[in-house]
Copies of this chain bind each other. A is one copy, B any other.
């Protein structure tokens, strides 16, 4: 249950619920429903009551700030029909945080140590609002701040260990297969026979996302060891059918897979980016430890930078235009030389919403990967939507690098 008007008017996307769903699943707890409600006492009371009928565990985030619009604690008092008490250890935590920032505890913040009488407080290392654990009529309620880092710290250090002890449930196993370069309905046609032959306690789901389709196999309700074997067996059969489209599994990120390949080969990478404007480099460097293989980029957003920093000949730009095979090939080869890396990626395209011509429509993108074996290029036609074009270009380019590196490794 996430509390806050900001969720309902759409100012904030609820990312807490998805993260909690993942963590709960991993310890064998299944989320039955996610509910977002407003900062309104009656609404919160109703939602708590309904949730307690459906589930034996209700996780609540939000509405614990020190300000006037945060009413979760008062409402929990009303729900459990109890008063407030001052919690010494929660106050110690508030005082510690203010001390570390070299500030005095304000009166507003002192009130964060006041909690409903019937709760156990859980220490929030990352913020001033304590977590709170309640039990009533066999249902566990846990209230946490809505700020994601604080909620995550509380879940990891306090809530999940307690839940593992308190509940003891059979596991649900998931395996997700990540594909690229093929649509959902085409995959579905290829997998029809395999899917029909799945045992009853196993289930397939298609999860399309920008530039890829994820396939999730779920298996439930048996001995974990047996389940794990069955899942592996079905996965093997599936891979035989669609192997060429599979680039990874579960929470694999393409940039992490590419990073592992580069690390294993002791190779380095650079990028030369036009339409992606640094996004490929950003994806690569979002991975911890990427400094071991990523040396840098030249972002040549304007044509004169393509000429001055990447030595793309002026005549080539005039003849073929910046969005062309010859220019993207030149960008990749030049950045590889200038940054002295084993591999390089280049991209040049029309992300939109303007810049299209009759011959070069919105979403036309050329990508290139250069390496010890030479340079490969691809023409992409990604349609409209600036953000989507940038995002998908990065995926296609990283996947092209992955394909080339796998070919090299397999001889």
- Residues of chain A having any CB pair with chain B under 8 Å: 4-15, 17-23, 25, 30-39, 43, 47, 50, 65-69, 106, 108-109, 128, 147, 149, 174, 176, 184-185, 188-189, 195, 203-209, 214, 216, 218, 271, 273, 276-282, 284-286, 288-291, 294-302, 304-305, 308-309, 338-340, 352-355, 385-388, 390
Contact = CB atoms under 8 A, between A and B. Distances in A.
A17 B36 contact: yes
Contacts of A147: 208
Given A5-B218, A108-B185, A216-B11, A285 B289 contact: no
Given A12-B18, A17-B10, A18-B14, A67 B184 contact: yes
Contacts of A284: 277
Given A14-B18, A106-B189, A277-B282, A25 B9 contact: yes
A14 B309 CA distance: 42
Contacts of A4: 205
A263 to B, nearest CB: 14
Contacts of A30: 8-9
A161 to B, nearest CB: 19
Given A147-B208, A296-B302, A386-B288, A10 B35 contact: no
Most chain-B Cβ atoms within 10 A of its Cβ — which of A35, A279, A299, A353? A299
CB-CB nearest 6 A-B residue pairs: A277-B285, A10-B21, A278-B278, A278-B281, A10-B22, A297-B299
A15 B210 CA distance: 13
A165 to B, nearest CB: 22
Given A11-B214, A298-B296, A203 B33 contact: no
Nearest to A192: B108
A306 to B, nearest CB: 8
B285 A297 contact: no
A8 B122 CA distance: 25
Given A9-B31, A34-B34, A298-B309, 14 more contacts: A8-B21, A8-B32, A8-B34, A11-B18, A66-B188, A67-B184, A69-B206, A277-B281, A278-B280, A288-B386, A295-B302, A295-B304, A296-B305, A308-B339
Given A18-B7, A209-B12, A386-B286, A189 B108 contact: yes
Contacts of A9: 21-22, 25, 30-31, 174
B388 A149 contact: yes
Contacts of A39: 205
Contacts of A354: 288-289
A135 B301 CA distance: 51
Nearest to A387: B286
Nearest to A128: B185
Contacts of A50: 50
Contacts of A282: 276-279, 282, 390
B309 A285 contact: no
Contacts of A185: 66-67, 106, 108-109, 128
Contacts of A36: 17, 33-35
19 contacts: A5-B205, A7-B34, A13-B13, A34-B34, A66-B188, A68-B195, A69-B204, A109-B185, A149-B385, A271-B299, A273-B278, A276-B282, A278-B278, A279-B285, A285-B390, A288-B353, A288-B386, A295-B301, A298-B299
Most chain-B Cβ atoms within 10 A of its Cβ — which of A4, A69, A128, A276? A69
A75 to B, nearest CB: 16
A139 to B, nearest CB: 18
Given A68-B195, A282-B282, A299-B299, A176 B11 contact: yes
